[in-house]
Amino acid sequence: MLISNYEQQMVYHCAPTLKGIKAGSMVAMRVSSHKSIEDFFAEYQECFKVHGIEYMKLTEQKQHVLVLIYRPDMLSRMLRRPMAREILGSYGYTVNDSLKAMLNHLQKRIDSCSGFPHEIGLFLGYPPQDVQGFIRHKGHNFLFCGFWKVYANGTAVKRLFRCYNECIHRMCRRLLAGESLQEVIRAA
């Protein structure tokens, strides 16, 4: 079986979300042709739907499309945490809005920022304490860095990072062994 570059990128960057142990992941997909990405998501739309996975294009450039892969129920719960609501409110989000409305606001923030809006970490399932720490310390003075810069609960987050890494390696091995992305997601 020939593995597409999009399948490889999806598993490498989004495995914990595909498995259901992380609320969201982001992947920059190289555009070989605009239709190629559309075709990829059309092919996997039903598989994603069955497994409670959604996706949203956050921004498009000539060479890349930045895509958020997320689990709506899990992400909604995470964004309702008091500290997450406080952070989002400080960036103009209406925290009582629907998840879709907050995602649309995130898109607008990405388009209007010179880099990434710092609150994006909340949409990627980062703990609010770490997002707040990153904002407060301007990316410095962190305990350690892994999938994100960690400012609190170091021991628990190290275990979580190990879990994410094991998930990525396991799903990549299955894909390289010839299973389709659909089979890998189904087995997750």
Residue 84 C-alpha from the chain's centroid: 16
Smallest CA-to-CA distance from 66 within 99, 115, 19 is with 115
Give the per-residue pLDDT at 1. 46
- Average pLDDT of the chain, as a whole number: 93
Alpha carbon distance 8, 3 (integer Å): 7
- Please count the structural domains in the chain: 1
Using one digit for the tens of pLDDT, what is the confidence trace for 122-131?
Answer: 999 999 999 9
Indicate the helix (H) or strand (E) that contains 24: strand 24-30
Range of the domain at 68: 5-187
Q: What type of residue sits at position 117? A: P
Using one digit for the tens of pLDDT, what is the confidence trace for 31-89?
Answer: 876 568 889 999 999 999 999 999 999 998 878 899 999 999 999 999 999 999 999 99
**Spatial contact of 67 and 18, defined as CB atoms under 8 Å apart:** no
- pTM score of the predicted model: 0.94
Specify the 3-state DSSP secondary structure of 115: coil
Specify the 3-state DSSP secondary structure of 108: helix
Q: What region does 99 belong to: left with phi over 0, alpha with psi -120 to 50, or beta?
A: alpha
Question: Taking 60 as the threshold, does the pLDDT of residue 16 lie above it?
Answer: yes
> In percent, how much of the chain has pLDDT > 90?
84
